[in-house]
Structure 1
């Protein structure tokens, strides 16, 4: 249930959240990119949201809480598709440049304007019940892992699996994520190579085995993403297929 109280920053944060926190930490564009031209990463994510429109429309059509749901679901599909296509042509439109939060916010805005409060309420209730029945066992198994590195790796695997489950297995998802990670790799290895070296030295030691394992795991993911990216072609090539 949603609260009617106004949203406020978490009071224990050391600095104002508005000036220090950014939810979308993976960049969709770089300062050198043309502000009036969508980047390959932006196009890929816009396409991902475009591909999800039919499934959202279907769920909206079946929402029993909204009168004349099928007709309103059709309006949603038309309006949101139009917004996404406009963002492709002009990434500064609709409050852009786009990131995942903006694309989700625009979709939710259109749904709410048409009277859809939560088209996923039924599936949320079902999945929450299943998750809560398994939660205690998952935590217990993770706590039983004695090796710090393996325990952290298990948590990372769970986080990745949860995000993939949440996003869905859209076509070309693996390649999209590879391109996405490669954008990060460009920053970490090309622009901040010295910083990464210092981080590695800092966690190097017998007392930091778990941290070192996590660092190496992230590095491996970035390297594999780079290899996959170059084997399959550039992100812009994929976006045009």
Structure 2
């Protein structure tokens, strides 16, 4: 469904992404990991249209999307969350979701959004402003707002950041529920290796802007380059 082909991004003299290629299949949960500064968020920004690559192609199905504006990418079927929360602070929780619904593909899916609100525990707080929510609830709101666009691919940039182990486990269960309720692909970035290894069916590893490995998690984590990038010596990740 999503193909990244030889994508590079340079900021002046800094090569943030260097010739990276990988594929995310239909309805797949695909983890994207790497040390700090690996280029993961830059890659999400490239896929979602917030940045344009210096070279390479990004395809959704057979359509090239690397030169489309973010709002066009979103309407094409790719929705995202952000590493640093970007909710609408002056709108209620309900209105944050409704704004996304009004731009959804094919008229949206109110039943899906309603089910997600209940599943993620936001029913009692719909009338509140986002800054009145706990951090975990704000993270859930951002996921539901992205889901309201009815995406084919959901890009989640560190959705478990700042969560305690119980919240992370709940997020894991909710992602599995979401993928069953709305069969979309999920590209997932996170630094919690236990969480991302449990959730991901395929795994791509970046380091210093380059692709280190891509494949089944159990194979990728035995890759010598991946082990060196994370640990610097010959232990298993």
Say whether the fold is shared (TM-score over 0.5).
no
Flag the structure with larger Rg: 1
**TM-score (normalizing by structure 1):** 0.24
TM-score, normalised relative to structure 2: 0.24
Larger relative contact order (CA 8 Å, sep ≥ 6)? 2
